[in-house]
């Protein structure tokens, strides 16, 4: 991952905007922002982020690569689409934010321990294994992300809900042993591998 | 007087006949008004009613007509009789609609109507039908000063309508500022790419047009006369002088860019820092190829600094936005991007403003990769690599960027000639014999453009920030110098597209002016008025108030300091009449007497009747319409007021106030337009002058034993229909509290 980062730096030198345009989903629209600030004003999470979309776009143009890719802002987006609906320049802001999050994550620059990023990683790894999400292992892994003691505490806190799900036959304890997968698991893995190969090529992650 | 025959016609339509006793009004017109013919009609403004009046004029030799019907602002087309003097007694909007309905008010309503009939008859006797002021031959040629985009457009438009134009250009070639451009901002659909300026073709068209007489390398040595008869001395560079006679003038003298040398902190004067005109020169030299700096190096990165020396709040530089510079910088950034997309182009703006259809052009430049940074540049160092220090206004941090070339958007400074506000004190001092002031005056005069020989100074008055005069809000091309119109960036900051529109408008106004001058008609806002001021000079005390206070510079002075009226320059506001302390100035149909006789015609009740009388002098432009509209909206007010419309509060002569108070009126209220910087006065200064004059009469009132509250001046807008009613009612209440005027019964 670090090598990908270094080669990206090497390739785009000071032109971070061009790097974003080439590698980030809908990144070519960043230059169309006219800095009106409607997105920043529309965001329900506005005060809780490090940078508003308006600022992120300005930082991209100003070439602040480390600050942008290290920002937690893109991970804080709840995909409410308020900004995107209101943007007078019709920038797909939500898509750009997710694109940036993905790019930062893949370069290994996204903030460590950022809860959204951690959970997303957990989710992806879980889903990719059997082609479907194993809810039991996903939740347990999530509970125990901070260690044994806090994991037990969190799990006990949720035990009545777990029991309810079990009685309603919505939770099968046997799933803890690997669980069931999609029909053609091999085929599924092949699809994912191919998709990754295409995306890596498109976004410049092939060595 | 023997040939005059007076007639009064009273309409009983629109409910007037139901609410008022029309026969009684007829009797008053006959007995008190001494009208030879008095008739009433149930529908005076219909064909039959109008025909009745026409027949009397034709068969009974009626020369003066008093119409007692609706407001003078209504039915103007029906009640239009050529060559006949006419007064209007406002029984409908002024009485019927504003006095509360019902029997309780019958008495006061009837009294009010009777007074308006008396006033109409009294006014009529003092009027003569305006004859117009035609002085024989009148020129219909139009002088255009300045041969840039605005001037050329004006000349071509004038020629296209069949009039002759005389175009004077200081330089040796046409084109002005536009000729220095590589391209101009898009002005045609789809508004995406810069376009050819078209200056060359336009100049060729001007040169080839037989209706346009061209004076290149020429300036104006002197302008004298008035609309219809301006005499222009045109001085050639060679020293020879020729004379042209024209009817009107379009001043399209454009702008110069704000001097970069005044911006040392932004690198003004340093190598590789240019202004927008400087960049155009580099682009013209490059002819569409790579743009090179003065030292020959190809530009690989460029920063545009917007609002350089503009929108300045410290008072050092220009305080306004020039409007075109954002679009111009976008255009210039595209010069680079179109030639080589890899050139770094940054536009540093505080607020990006692209008026008109500029938004697509802005988007287009963004698509090409021009970086727009919302930032304020604080320091630019020139040199081989320029550094721009700026504050990023979004990220709120100081930063520095390097560039091969920095372009400053410095904005427009109008070429409007001499600032009359600075000029007048210098001239006064010079006339007093001060040698230094004389030298200063001669020095100031060197920048004059029109060199008018008017008493009021050599150029047009300036509006704001040194731009040539214009009634900015309502009447864009009108100026305070009748028959002289400003067009293009000399009037306000603008781009080429706006300037060509502006020039077309000014050309049409100039045509209107020559046509008006030919028949002795007034220009806006009393368009079509044939009356003009005359002065009984044997009574004149040469006090110069009329010449000084005329907002339009219409009055000069002869060697003995007597006023010399230039009727073609006059806008008929009557400010001179209001100013005159000896009341020698009058119009045929508007004079100290026409209003004074109305003031005196009102029957003022005795003290014990407890019916106060209040005179309202209402400006006919805004206040009187507002009162009419109060009537239309049936907002009722006190029936104790008697309203007289005046041409402008500036025309109010203090004798009217004195007469009213002597006659026992309890109060006088003046309603004029808003004054001050955001004035709404149609004659610019009238309302202000009235306020000033009235501020001086407080002492006089006290000496007479009267309370200063008995004279009030109010500012009213045309939309204030509810407010005028409140002003009247509040004033009536205030005066009732004050008690009756002690002057009652002495009149």
B374 touches chain A (CB under 8 A): yes
d(CA A150, CA A142): 11
Q: Mutation test of the interface with chain A: which of B395, B396, B397, B401, choosing the one with the most A Cβ atoms within 10 A?
A: B395
Query: What's domain B604-747's architecture?
Result: 3-Layer(aba) Sandwich (3.40)
What is the chain B residue with the closest CA to A61? Answer: B371
Average confidence (pLDDT) over A21-29: 92
Query: What's domain B534-586's architecture?
Result: 2-Layer Sandwich (3.30)
Q: Of A195-204, B99-108, B636-645, which range is least confident?
A: A195-204
B357 touches chain A (CB under 8 A): no
Strands B484-486 and B248-251 come out as parallel
Q: Of A151-160, B49-58, B157-166, B409-418, which range is least confident?
A: A151-160
More confident residue, B1 or B458: B458
Decide if A176 is inside a domain: yes
B574-B575-B577-B581 Cα dihedral, nearest 10 degrees: 170
Q: How far is A56 from chain B (nearest CA, A)?
A: 9
Residue among A34, A55, A89 minimizing CB distance to B395: A55
- Is residue A101 domain-shared with residue A154, that is, in the same domain? no
Decide if A9 is inside a domain: yes
* Interchain CB distance below 8 Å, A35 and B372: yes
Q: Mutation test of the interface with chain B: which of A31, A51, A64, choosing the one with the most B Cβ atoms within 10 A?
A: A31
B107 touches chain A (CB under 8 A): no
Decide if A93 is inside a domain: yes
- Is residue A123 domain-shared with residue A89, that is, in the same domain? no
What pTM was estimated for this model as a whole? 0.87
Q: How far is A80 from chain B (nearest CA, A)?
A: 24
Residue A29: list chain B partners with CB under 8 A. none
Residue among A32, A61, A89 minimizing CB distance to B373: A61
Predicted pLDDT at A99: 94
Model confidence at B1, pLDDT cuts 50, 70, 90, reads very low
Instruction: Write the pLDDT tens digit of every residue in B12-39.
Output: 999 999 999 999 999 999 999 999 999 9
Residue among B352, B367, B371 minimizing CB distance to A61: B371
- Is residue A8 domain-shared with residue A101, that is, in the same domain? yes
**Alpha helix positions (H), B168-249:** 199-208
Predicted pLDDT at A134: 92
- Is residue A121 domain-shared with residue A192, that is, in the same domain? yes
Instruction: Write the pLDDT tens digit of every residue in B188-209.
Output: 989 999 999 999 999 999 999 9
Q: Which of A78, A95, A111 is the last residue of a domain?
A: A111
Please state the domain count of chain A: 2
Instruction: Write the pLDDT tens digit of every residue in B460-519.
Output: 999 889 999 877 557 778 889 999 999 999 999 999 999 999 999 999 999 999 999 999
Query: What's domain B142-254+460-519's architecture?
Result: 3-Layer(bba) Sandwich (3.50)
Instruction: Write the pLDDT tens digit of every residue in A114-164.
Output: 999 999 999 999 999 999 999 999 999 999 988 899 999 998 999 999 999
Model confidence at B130, pLDDT cuts 50, 70, 90, reads confident
* Interchain CB distance below 8 Å, B395 and A62: yes
Map residue B409 onto helix, strand or coil.
coil
Asked whether this chain's domains B258-413 and B604-747 adopt the same fold, the reply is: no
**Helix, strand, coil percentages in chain B from 3-state DSSP, rounded to 5:** 35, 20, 45
Q: How far is B388 from chain A (nearest CA, A)?
A: 14
Average confidence (pLDDT) over A54-75: 93
Please say if the pLDDT value at position B747 is more than 70: no
Residue among B352, B362, B394 minimizing CB distance to A58: B394
Strands B273-275 and B405-408 come out as parallel
Please say if the pLDDT value at position A13 is more than 70: no
Model confidence at A199, pLDDT cuts 50, 70, 90, reads confident
- Is residue A84 domain-shared with residue A183, that is, in the same domain? no
Instruction: Write the pLDDT tens digit of every residue in B502-513.
Output: 999 999 999 999
- Is residue A55 domain-shared with residue A145, that is, in the same domain? no
Query: What's domain B1-129's architecture?
Result: 3-Layer(aba) Sandwich (3.40)
Decide if A204 is inside a domain: no
Q: Distance between alpha carbon B432 and the CA centroid of its chain, in Å?
A: 32
- Is residue A191 domain-shared with residue A165, that is, in the same domain? yes
B362 touches chain A (CB under 8 A): yes
Q: Mutation test of the interface with chain B: which of A35, A37, A89, choosing the one with the most B Cβ atoms within 10 A?
A: A35
User: What is the pLDDT of chain B when averaged over all its residues?
Assistant: 93
- Is residue A83 domain-shared with residue A8, that is, in the same domain? yes
- Sequence-distant (6+) residues with CB within 8 A of B326 are B306, B347, B349, B352, B353, B354, B358, B362, B409
Q: How far is A16 from chain B (nearest CA, A)?
A: 12
- Is residue A7 domain-shared with residue A64, that is, in the same domain? yes
| Residue pointed to by tokens 């108030």 | B545
> What class is the B258-413 domain?
alpha beta
Instruction: Write the pLDDT tens digit of every residue in B114-123.
Output: 999 999 999 9
Q: Among B227, B220, B225, B222, which Cα is nearest to B247's?
A: B227
B558 touches chain A (CB under 8 A): no
* Interchain CB distance below 8 Å, B362 and A34: yes
Decide if A207 is inside a domain: no
Predicted pLDDT at B473: 58
Q: How far is A61 from chain B (nearest CA, A)?
A: 7
Model confidence at B623, pLDDT cuts 50, 70, 90, reads very high
Q: How far is A31 from chain B (nearest CA, A)?
A: 6
Residue A55: list chain B partners with CB under 8 A. 394-395
Instruction: Write the pLDDT tens digit of every residue in B583-608.
Output: 999 999 999 999 999 999 999 998 88
Q: Which domain holds residue A155?
A: 115-198
- Is residue A79 domain-shared with residue A152, that is, in the same domain? no
Model confidence at A207, pLDDT cuts 50, 70, 90, reads low
- Is residue A99 domain-shared with residue A171, that is, in the same domain? no
Average confidence (pLDDT) over A17-45: 93
Q: Which of A96, A111, A126 is the last residue of a domain?
A: A111
Residue B363: list chain A partners with CB under 8 A. 32, 89
Model confidence at A179, pLDDT cuts 50, 70, 90, reads confident
Average confidence (pLDDT) over B146-173: 97
CA atoms within 13 A on the CB side of A113: 1
Q: How far is B713 from chain A (nearest CA, A)?
A: 46
Please say if the pLDDT value at position B391 is more than 60: yes
What is the chain A residue with the closest CA to B350? Answer: A35
* Interchain CB distance below 8 Å, A17 and B371: yes
Q: Where are the domains of chain B?
A: 1-129, 142-254+460-519, 258-413, 534-586, 604-747
What is the chain B residue with the closest CA to A89? Answer: B363
More confident residue, B131 or B588: B588
Looking at the DSSP assignment, which residues form a beta bridge with residue B557? B563
Average confidence (pLDDT) over B612-641: 96
Instruction: Write the pLDDT tens digit of every residue in B658-673.
Output: 999 999 999 999 999 9
Instruction: Write the pLDDT tens digit of every residue in B535-566.
Output: 999 999 999 999 989 999 999 989 998 999 99
B402 touches chain A (CB under 8 A): no
- Is residue A106 domain-shared with residue A7, that is, in the same domain? yes
What is the chain A residue with the closest CA to B370? Answer: A31
* Interchain CB distance below 8 Å, B367 and A61: no
* Interchain CB distance below 8 Å, A32 and B374: no
d(CA B521, CA B138): 12
Average confidence (pLDDT) over B269-294: 95
Class of residue B325 by CB neighbours under 10 A (exposed 0-12, middle 13-18, buried 19+): buried
Instruction: State the CATH number of the domain containing residue A37.
Output: 1.10.1060.10
Predicted pLDDT at A14: 66
What is the chain B residue with the closest CA to A54? Answer: B394
Decide if A203 is inside a domain: no
d(CA A171, CA B383): 73
* Percent with pLDDT over 70 in chain B: 99
Residue A32: list chain B partners with CB under 8 A. 363, 366-367
Q: Mutation test of the interface with chain A: which of B351, B365, B394, choosing the one with the most A Cβ atoms within 10 A?
A: B394
Predicted pLDDT at B591: 96
Q: Three-state SS across chain A?
A: CHHHHHHHHHHHCCCHHHHHHHHCCCHHHHHHCCCCCHHHHHCCCHHHCCCCHHHHHHHHHCCCHHHHHCCCHHHHCCCCCHHHHHCCCCCCHHHHHHHHHHHHHHHCCCCCCCHHHHHHHHHHHHHHHHCCCCHHHHHHHHHHHHCHHHHHHHHHHCHHHHHHHHHCCCCCHHHHCCCCCCCCHHHHHHHHHHHHHHHHHHHCCCC
Per-residue b or e along A150-183, where b marks 16 or more CB atoms closer than 10 Å to that residue's CB? ebeebeeeeeeebeeeeeeeebeeeeeeebeeee
Q: Which of A111, A144, A162 is the last residue of a domain?
A: A111
d(CA B403, CA B401): 7
d(CA B33, CA B10): 13
- Sequence-distant (6+) residues with CB within 8 A of A190 are none
């Amino acid at each position: 991952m670090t090598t990908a980062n270094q080669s990206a730096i090497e390739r785009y030198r000071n032109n971070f905007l061009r790097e974003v345009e080439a590698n980030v989903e809908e990144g070519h629209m960043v230059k169309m922002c006219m800095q009106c600030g409607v997105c920043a004003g529309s965001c329900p999470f506005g005060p809780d982020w490090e940078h508003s979309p308006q600022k992120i776009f300005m930082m991209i143009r100003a070439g602040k690569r480390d600050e942008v890719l290290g920002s937690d802002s893109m991970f804080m987006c709840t995909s409410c689409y308020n900004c995107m609906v209101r943007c007078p320049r019709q920038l797909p802001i939500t898509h750009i934010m997710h694109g940036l999050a993905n790019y930062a994550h893949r370069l290994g620059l996204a903030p460590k321990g950022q809860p959204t990023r951690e959970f997303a990683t957990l989710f992806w790894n879980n889903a990719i294994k059997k082609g479907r999400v194993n809810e039991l292992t996903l939740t347990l892994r999530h509970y125990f992300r901070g260690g044994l003691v806090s994991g037990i505490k969190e799990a006990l806190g949720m035990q009545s809900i777990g029991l309810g799900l079990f009685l309603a036959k919505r939770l099968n304890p046997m799933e803890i042993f690997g669980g069931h997968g999609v029909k053609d698991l091999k085929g599924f893995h092949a699809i994912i591998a191919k998709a990754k190969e295409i995306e890596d090529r498109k976004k410049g992650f092939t060595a | 007087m023997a040939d005059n025959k007076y007639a009064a016609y009273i309409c009983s339509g629109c409910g007037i006949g139901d609410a008022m006793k029309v026969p009684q009004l007829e009797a008053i017109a006959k007995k008190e008004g001494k009208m030879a013919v008095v008739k009433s009609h149930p529908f005076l403004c219909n064909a039959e009613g109008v025909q009745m009046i026409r027949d009397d004029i034709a068969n009974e030799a009626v020369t003066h007509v008093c119409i007692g019907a609706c407001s003078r602002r209504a039915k103007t087309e029906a009640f239009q009789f050529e060559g006949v003097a006419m007064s209007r007694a406002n029984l409908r909007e002024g009485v019927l609609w504003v006095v509360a309905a019902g029997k309780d008010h019958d008495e006061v309503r009837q009294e009010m109507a009777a007074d308006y009939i008396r006033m109409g008859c009294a006014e009529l006797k003092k009027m003569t039908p305006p004859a117009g002021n035609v002085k024989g031959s009148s020129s219909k040629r139009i002088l255009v000063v300045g041969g840039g985009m605005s001037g050329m457009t004006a000349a071509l438009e004038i020629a296209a309508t069949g009039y002759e134009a005389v175009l004077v250009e200081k330089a040796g070639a046409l084109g002005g500022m536009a000729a220095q451009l590589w391209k101009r901002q898009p002005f045609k659909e789809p508004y995406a790419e810069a376009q050819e300026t078209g200056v060359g073709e336009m100049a060729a068209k001007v040169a080839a047009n037989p209706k346009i007489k061209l004076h290149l390398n020429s300036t104006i040595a002197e302008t004298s006369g008035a609309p219809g008869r301006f005499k222009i001395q045109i001085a050639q560079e060679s020293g020879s002088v020729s004379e042209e006679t024209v009817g009107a003038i379009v001043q399209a003298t454009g702008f110069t860019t704000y001097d970069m040398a005044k911006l040392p902190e932004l690198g003004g004067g340093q190598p590789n820092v240019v202004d927008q005109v400087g960049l155009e020169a580099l682009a013209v030299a490059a002819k569409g190829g790579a743009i090179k700096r003065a030292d020959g190096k190809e530009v690989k990165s460029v920063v545009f600094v917007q609002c350089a020396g503009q929108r300045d709040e410290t008072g050092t530089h220009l305080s306004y936005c020039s409007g075109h510079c954002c679009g111009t910088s976008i255009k210039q950034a595209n010069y680079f991007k179109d030639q080589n997309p890899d050139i770094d182009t940054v536009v540093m703006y505080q607020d990006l403003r692209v008026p008109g259809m500029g938004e697509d052009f802005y988007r287009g430049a963004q698509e090409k990769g021009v970086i727009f940074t919302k930032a304020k540049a604080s320091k630019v160092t020139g040199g081989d690599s320029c550094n721009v220090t700026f504050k990023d206004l979004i990220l709120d941090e100081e930063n520095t960027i390097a560039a091969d070339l920095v372009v400053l958007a410095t904005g427009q400074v109008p070429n409007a000639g001499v600032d009359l506000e600075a000029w007048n004190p210098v001239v006064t001092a010079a006339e007093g014999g001060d040698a230094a002031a004389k030298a200063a005056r001669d020095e100031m005069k060197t920048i004059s453009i029109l060199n008018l020989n008017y008493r009021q100074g050599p150029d047009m008055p300036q509006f704001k920030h040194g731009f040539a005069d214009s009634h900015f809000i309502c009447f864009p091309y009108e100026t305070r110098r009748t028959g002289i119109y400003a067009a293009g960036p000399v009037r306000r900051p603008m781009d080429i597209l706006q300037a060509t529109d502006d020039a077309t408008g000014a050309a049409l106004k100039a045509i209107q002016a020559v046509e008006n001058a030919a028949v002795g008609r007034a220009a806006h806002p009393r368009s079509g008025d044939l009356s003009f001021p005359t002065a009984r000079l044997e009574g004149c005390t040469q006090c110069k108030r009329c010449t000084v206070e005329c907002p339009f510079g219409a009055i000069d002075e002869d060697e003995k300091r007597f006023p010399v009226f230039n009727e073609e320059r006059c806008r008929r506001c009557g400010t001179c009449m209001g100013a005159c302390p000896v009341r020698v100035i009058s119009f045929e149909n508007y004079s100290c007497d026409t209003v004074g006789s109305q003031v005196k015609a009102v029957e003022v009740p005795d003290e014990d009747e407890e019916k106060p009388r209040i005179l309202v002098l209402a400006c006919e432009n805004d206040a009187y319409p507002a009162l009419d509209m109060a009537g239309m909206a049936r907002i009722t007010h006190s029936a104790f007021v008697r309203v007289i419309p005046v041409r402008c509060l500036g025309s109010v002569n203090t004798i009217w106030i004195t007469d009213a108070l002597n006659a026992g009126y309890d109060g006088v209220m003046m309603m004029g337009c808003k004054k001050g910087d955001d004035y709404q006065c149609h004659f610019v200064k009238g309302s202000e002058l009235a306020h000033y004059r009235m501020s001086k009469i407080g002492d006089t009132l006290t000496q007479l034993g009267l309370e200063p509250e008995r004279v009030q001046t109010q500012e009213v807008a045309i939309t204030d229909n509810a407010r005028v009613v409140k002003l009247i009612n509040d004033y009536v209440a205030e005066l009732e509290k004050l008690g009756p005027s002690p002057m009652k019964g002495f009149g």
